[in-house]
Amino acid sequence: MAYPLEGIKVLDFSRVLAGPFASRMLADLGADVVKVEPPDGDVTRYWGKEIGNMPGCFHQNNAGKRNICIDLRADGAKALINELALKSDILIENYRPDVMSRLGIGYADLKKVNPALIMLSISGFGHFSPESHRPSYAPVIHAEAGLIHRLAKRSNTKLHDLPLSVSDTNASLHGLVAVLAALHLRKTTGLGQHVDMSMLDATVATDDHMIFNLEDAVATGPKPSEIWVTPFAPVLLSTEFRLLVKQLTRKHNFVDPANDSMTTEQAETIRRQAIQTFMDQLDTREKFETAMKKMNIAWGEVRDPATMADQITIKARGLVKQIDDRNGGTRPLVQSPYRFSDADSGNRRSVSHRGEDNAEVLAEWLDMPTAQSTELFDAGVLIFDPDWQHH
């Protein structure tokens, strides 16, 4: 089966997560993605388990891409980028808004070279914003978007960050939607687009609970799901407490221990104690699942993420795949979630080291002979990491 984005060329200047996650998804959809890594490397090369001189975080977000390393400040670098941009369909970057233009390779510059180029720029506060100058990572946006405040208030804990970089991945996925829309529009107009994706915009737009805060109506929103302890595992029940009591009474002959003489707080306390006694009897997953199915209550086991590869659905659908670790073995890679009826998706190659594909990419994209790419290397325009050759 064909990959949906077969033949699309992507030049990826991004680093860390917001940009690399987007380009990783494009690679899994079949695009030819070339990561342009800076000489000092992507910071995610310092995070995660290292195998064969390749840390896990970099591996996860850059599998499937080829890698060239260009010193953007070197004489001759701008000309090389212009040549590559001419051959590109999409360019992704997540520098601060003024960086690419200062280097002479901003959208206004590259549009002159290739009017059909679609450029995705991801930044914390957007290119056209009074705060566009601010450096930003996901935790900064989690704070500004109200997520940290809401988490602390709901859980009655100290203010603390989220355990995932949701502001990065929100911006990545909204950026992908915009890029694919621009690709479709280009069929009609022949022209590219500059997509200015703000992480703050993407996070607030994707926050389904934000409307309750904006309208000062938090009390009218859905109650947080509760977690109950059972003999086999802690489980989350996606239902309100009052409905749980009603369903237990109707479907399991549960005797409601509360009475009219009790206060609301007393009634809830004694009901919780009785429900916990009911939960304690469900000492296997099978018994628990049967009990919930009878009440038509959705639930989820509160799992340790270290066991995620063994989760029944994830295992059956092959979401975690073992790929070449560049060190004689394999390592896990979380695949993209796309499933098509008559097309393919997913990782097709392992991770490249910094500058490993310099000559290959320039030969394929620009028909550049090896002697010329060697000259660029000698001039300091192209760089490669010699350590990878020892693994």
Q: Which two tokens stand for residue 180?
A: 């694919």
Contact indicator for 373, 79 with CB cutoff of 8 Å: no
Per the listing, tokens 């056209």 go with: 128
Question: How many Å apart are CA 216 and CA 208, to the nearest integer?
Answer: 14
Contacts 24+ apart (CB under 8 A), 126-134: 126/97, 126/196, 126/197, 126/198, 126/200, 126/201, 127/97, 127/196, 128/196, 129/198, 132/96, 132/97, 132/98, 133/96, 133/97, 133/98
**What per-residue string of b and e applies to 11-37 under the rule 16 or more CB within 10 Å gives b?**
bbbbbbbbbbbbbbbbbbbbbbbbbbb
Active site residue 168: yes
Question: How many Å apart are CA 267 and CA 320, to the nearest integer?
Answer: 46
Question: How many Å apart are CA 360 and CA 126, to the nearest integer?
Answer: 34
Residue of 89, 168, 207, 325 marked catalytic: 168
Residues 6+ apart with CB under 8 A from 138: 17, 18, 165, 166, 167, 168, 199
Give one word for 346, left, alpha or beta, with left for phi > 0 and alpha for psi -120 to 50: left
* Residues catalogued as catalytic: 168
